Amino acid sequence: KTSSSPEIPAHVSHSPPRDAANSVKVVVRVRPVNRREREGVRIVHKDSSASLSVEGQTFHFDSVLGPDSSQEDVFMSVGVPLVESSLAGFNATVLSYGQTGSGKTYTMWGPPSAMLDGRSINSYQGLVPRIFQTLFSEIQKKQESSEQKQVNYQCRCSFLEIYNEQINDLLDPTQRNLQIQGDPRAGFHVENLTDEYVTTIEDVTHILVKGLSNRKVGATSVNSKSSRSHIVFTCILESWCKGSSSIFSSSKSSRISLVDLAGIDMDTVDGVGKHCLKEAKHIKQSLSKLGKVVTLLATVSQPGKDQNIPYKDSCLTHLLQDTLGGNAKVTFICAISPNDRHKAGTLSTLRFGERARLVQNKALINEI
């Protein structure tokens, strides 16, 4: 039997108590039923602002956003703290996790037509465009305020996908099979990945639209354009004080990473030929390695001290090494369908989310 997302091994019996300030945050978003599912049975029930139940099993998270939640609700819960953290100099990462058709793409980016409307916020716009609209408007406010007039900000962005265990540049499709360089102390980077400087929300929108149009998608029965790759949009935000006598005393650098993980679609695994099977196998394997890293990290009492976490087992975990258990503020958005047809994937996603909440990060300020 093929699971719609990897099972978390049940061998971990003693998890350390949760330190909320430095733990990975998990927000669950339940998408509304679609037309085809109206006749189906709704098995997911929101019990409170932070818990839900599925057929009598209760799950606890940092926040649960029900089927009637808006894109604005997601932004208030995840985007506002992220913008605040990155302006304060923390690295921040958001990852969307869930089976195909559960609402990851809708939540992260919004429908393409909504994203193209870069400057004004419209109700369909996803989390990522909202984050950058707010980030740029906060920077502008800071620069206009008298005490921060002297602060310079610089932003550069990159966009990659991990497809069949290969890293491809979404901003330059000729750059394929790129290698990860660096180490846990110095941080990781992808060699030869395009880096573009951005100064306005239009610049970011241009990059997002270009990158997303280069993403590998495949046709499946759940969703006609299902994502077949993990994608990572990264922005490095640097700030420094013009008038300072020492540039080192006043400089900050923070990294915003926005990760949309591919999901498994059981129908694809069963039905659609060898090409899709290979893709599905790679997605399943890399999500399973992510599950393993998260499970092991959930038992580590001192973040960063455990040398035996198998980060290098997959491109995804290798790239996330300085994020998971590292010095970033991390939020998972676990996307689920309320329908009984998707029960196996929903339960698997919720179990992953509960485990991810136990991972502690260092969340250190990142001064250069």
Contacting positions for ligand ADP (CB under 6 A) = 31-32, 34, 98, 100-106, 223, 226-227, 263, 335
Judged by beta carbon, residue 75 or residue 90, the one nearer ligand ADP is: 75
**Nearer to ligand ADP among residue 23 and residue 223 (C-beta):** 223
d(CA 210, CA 219): 20
Closest CA to 107 of 74, 129, 82: 74
Look up tokens 């990860």; give the residue. Answer: 180
Q: Shortest approach of ligand ADP to residue 106 CB, angstroms?
A: 3
Contacting residues for 106 by C-beta, under 8 A, at least 6 apart: 31, 126
**In angstroms, what is the minimal distance from the CB of 103 to ligand ADP?**
3
Nearer to ligand ADP, 151 or 283 (CB): 283
> What minimum distance in Å lies between the beta carbon of 246 and ligand ADP?
46
Two tokens, residue 148: 């921060």
- How far apart are alpha carbons 256 and 132 in whole angstroms? 10
Of the pair 104, 230, the CB lying nearest ligand ADP is at 104
| Pairwise CA distance, residues 143 & 127, whole Å | 24
Residue 126 CA: distances (Å) to CA of 8, 45, 104, 122, 210: 29, 24, 10, 9, 16
Give the nearer residue to ligand ADP in terms of CB position, either 106 or 311: 106
Nearer to ligand ADP, 139 or 276 (CB): 276
Tell me the residue type at 326: G
Cβ distance to ligand ADP smaller for residue 190 or 262: 262
Q: How far is the CB of 124 from ligand ADP (least distance, A)?
A: 8
Residue 245 tokens, joined: 């006598």
Q: How far is the CB of 343 from ligand ADP (least distance, A)?
A: 16
Question: Please, what sign has the CA dihedral across residues 337, 342, 345, 347?
Answer: positive
3-state secondary structure of 152: strand
CA separation for the pair 92, 83 (Å, rounded): 9
Pull the structure tokens for residue 223.
Answer: 């969703």
Q: Least separation, in Å, of the C-beta of 111 and ligand ADP?
A: 6
Q: Which two tokens stand for residue 268?
A: 């694809």
Question: Distance from first CA to last CA of the chain, Å, rounded?
Answer: 50
- Least distance in Å: CB of 100 to ligand ADP? 4
Nearest approach, Cβ of residue 188 and ligand ADP (Å): 26
- What strands lie across the sheet with 44-48, from one edge to the other? 44-48, 51-54, 57-60
Nearer to ligand ADP, 23 or 226 (CB): 226
Q: Where are the beta strands (DSSP E) in 242-308?
A: 252-260
